[in-house]
Structure 1
């Protein structure tokens, strides 16, 4: 640093520098040495400039000295701030030179402080760096010693002995060092001389010393000129006229037991607080002994505004506000005057040291803030830069920063002097907390401690780290068959906790398992599922597919859900009669007993459940001689028939209905002829007749019996084979689209319509003696929640059909 400063001096001087250099090497060399000493002792960079320097005066090549390139000042957002009031310096960003911007009055800026520095903070970005620069303001002898008055009046008893001292007002010089060092000289006379007496530590009093006893009758008044000169170059001088009146008679002045009193006082002491009690004594008697106390006329006006003394008791009390940050000590001249005809006065000095009280809260300033903070920011990322300060001194001015509440993913780090960085301490997740409210507290170390708090809002920036998710892994939807094309059957909805485009979701079908685009489509924005064509329960009973949801983030994320669409059967198929198809004829021999089964109607229904559950009824008008089984379809006699009723024929009309709503029905016609003996049959008779065609039968009863036994045995064997095939067929298998097949689950909604059954048909009728006929056993199961076509949940009543086969 010293070598750099030396190089600066050898540069061609500017006009202001030339004037300064012309003051002589003797003045410049001490400044250089003082400047070097300061740079070695404090700060990162130190400069010195004389006070009263004109605008544009060169101070230093700050960019070069800080190790910065001139061409990177602007890109790195170079800025310089002064910690105090005033904009005394600026930096030319074209060449990196620090120069004087405005006139600097050292005395107005620092008063009598021996060191006067202006603290600058240089902040550059990329990376964020703070430099501390101190510019020392060198004193010049621009202030002459001055006295507060042009004339001082003193009254001196003629009885005062040789060597007596009389305090007089000293001169003040706003400069410091040799420029502020004052020497006094009194005009030539034989009675008085002037001298400085050291009272206490650095406190001095200027007194007038009596060298020869006075004689009022010879010279009642003396006029002396007191000169005060400083030690600057050039020397400046101030004068005051001393008018000394010689007083007769009262020859004992009040005297204090000490010439100087020292006491301490806390700042912010209440008005009326006792500082010290003074007492002076007068050896005279009577009125010449009575004493009145007062503040000397030499006391500064601002001191008189803060302290007062009781005229009769000598108590010095607080009169106004006492602030340590404004003044740390007071020097008060006290006068004790007796009440004689020619009052005499005694003097003492009270030194009041003001003690600092922690009465200033810390101050915080936000220098930079980088928000929002991306949620993927690594620990250590700087969020904010905060500066703190405290006007108090000592422990009262030492500040520590903290952040609350605890448990936040942020922490404060002390980076530079009086600077703290708020950094990321833990991983962030915007979906758990989108914004943090931090309270930054600056607390000093005083007693009691003072603190300042400021709320800092830190929003968290979103990244696409969440895939769209459905509320459940799969949905079950029930749709009635024969729906209109393009019907809305369900709506899938996924949610994404991200925001903006990261949460913008589109939907589409995943067709990897089965091409179902001809049946189902999904709206890409709303998630509505549409049936593109009417669904037929008899053709398709289940559509199973996956709907995928993708967000619009970069990169995009996906989620999927399985949708099962069960086609609900409606009663849209009429029962179909198989035997007889339209008409059948049967020859029966009489006599026969009541309840004799003469035949059985076979009918099928392509629907399922109740829609396929058939019942049989005799049509009105049919003969009362016959009846039909309600669910079996068996036709039997209602009473016994005898031979007298032989050779007669009957036409029966049977009505077959399902249990659907509305019910659908079909009819079957059966012709029955009664004969008395087998010989009555024609030779070419064929019983029964189906659709008008002959149906050959055996010529005797034994043939019918053999055929019946063989049929029953064959049907029983077929039943066993069908049962084993059904057991193998019912093993679970993976499929996406289902057609007709056997199953057992039948569900009905609140309105009573059957929602699902894999039974394509129920064979509830057959010929007499058919042992392979099935019966249905319905078992009620608890209600289960499902989703209807409108997306609402409803309860379904479920029935389970179990097929069983009679053994005997």
Structure 2
């Protein structure tokens, strides 16, 4: 912090009361080279300011001047070697402002004379004035002068001034005005809380030229605060404090605010209580409310209303203030135990009742409902050692509800005394009291009851197989009131095996049927019987008899009757484990002893394995098959007999014999294995049939005899769109002779044709690659028709050739011959196509092959037209064997 030295302040001129405040015109201050923000520079002494408040301002924004004349730095300030200068302005409401020039230097080597000269030199008013100040809500009359604004250009120009900005020509309008001479006026009250500052722009113009004579001047008008706002509460004044809290416990904090200028005296608040000061106090600076006593009692008063005052101006009497009512709620603690409305309680209950509500016990608790401090919890602290009672809390009424938990017996205890304590869900605190207890007397009322057996359950031990009629004991009942069994009858309710008889007059129990410990009615050696006793008034009572069935040695140890398998192994003798079972218990059962009663040839030996099993060992090679081995098996008491074990010696897989000769039935797999060959045979037949019917290659039949000893093909055209029957026209010639084997009807319709036997001079045929036949030898007709009519004009039907007798007549009909040759070519091409067809599209429109049996065959010709004239003679059907045998060897697709 800089050392502040005020070197000299000139003498203050005495002014009258109507003159303005006066300050020194010049001031020198020695400071360091650099001043941080908030550094104290000096203090300005202001004189003759009796007419009102004095406003001080700085021309340099790096410095602040407070109302009491203290100058401090607002920002970091650097002072050069030649120093730094700024002005401080002072004014009040009665006159113009005064200026003081402050010189900052960082050297004290200056002369007194120079100081005097500088101090007495008059400063010149400059164009850049400091901010102006006006007081908010200033009383009239208006307008009021603020300040005279003077430009340096006024010394050489005749000028006029204008102003613009908020408060002049911008909202709020008509607050300020500036006349042409530079006097600034205010015209109305200004609220600082709404408009804390105005910034105007002042311009100066030459009257004659209208040109600006200086740069525009921004002027700041700051509105000084007046204490016109009373402080207000920010938050609701609602607080809670627990009862019996110690003195000094914080209750809460009062939060308040003031709209006046922050940091000023107008917003410095003080807090105080106007009521409730006997219980509470408030910190005047922070507003924190605390207790001053530990006597707060919610049960006496659960809320306190306290008046709180807040005042500004640090609580001065002339400060503005406000008051509010704080509500302080006293919180509850469990400082009150529940109390009973009576000193004791009594209740009646009938014997044998169960689950009945017999008593309501009301309590009173002063604590807050329905908190854990108030909710009651009842405890039976005495007299309920047998758990005969239970107690609950009614959630609505907070009463204790006493119930009977188990039936009471008047004959055993006609009166029961209880003690019940009332507690809370929360523990007691803030009090020396304890939980309270109340006595409760329970009177058990007598009820006429049925007979009761001497004990609810009784046991009798009986050996199994005990003879019928044997007395095993008696089970009697007594009347609870008379303690006598006179007049009581006894009956069985449950006896699953009818093993026991009951004497209805005296309750004696005797064996009625054989008692078997191994019976499924016996569980863990126990057999239960339920009995009923009925008195003279038909009242009943029930009881249970448990018969403990004692074991006797009535079961032999037995070996299994199923076959025991001994698996053959290469180079060693087999063995098998024999396990015996005995339904008796120790000491009438295991451990068992095993022995061979007789084995003269030494084929087997037996060795004990454990208490219930033995190993039967093969001692010599034995044949595969079934063997019967006698074994003596006895229990621990030596009770047993000779039994036969069936042992099978066999080859095994996974411990089981591979072949079981005793099987009398076949399983599904065996049946399937037997049927499989039959299925395969059937499948083979189907495959052969399919192969035969779909074979495609052509068979060539070799003629071993004459030219007729072969099968000849013949086509039968079925009707269809592929064949135009009109194209086939047979030449009209006269037939001279018809021999057997010709086409019936065909030759008759064409008398010019002559047929001849296929073995004659017309020649033989050979199979062509397309299934047709070509001539091997030709006749004179081939030359007659230029080699063409031989194929088309002389056709083969059933092994014969058909021709004409008069060739000269055929030559004369050249037109008809030409048509026949054309049709022949067409048929030749179609038959060649049918011979290679595979898709069956033309059905029977294919070439068919026929067999020729040879000369002298009993079957004769197999041609379809060979015996047309013998339609009525069917004897040949009896001799078709050789024919069909040959046909069966030919497979063609049809």
Same fold (TM over 0.5): no
**Higher Rg:** 2
Higher fraction of strand: 1
Higher relative contact order (CA 8 A, sep 6+): 1
For normalisation by structure 2, the TM-score amounts to 0.31
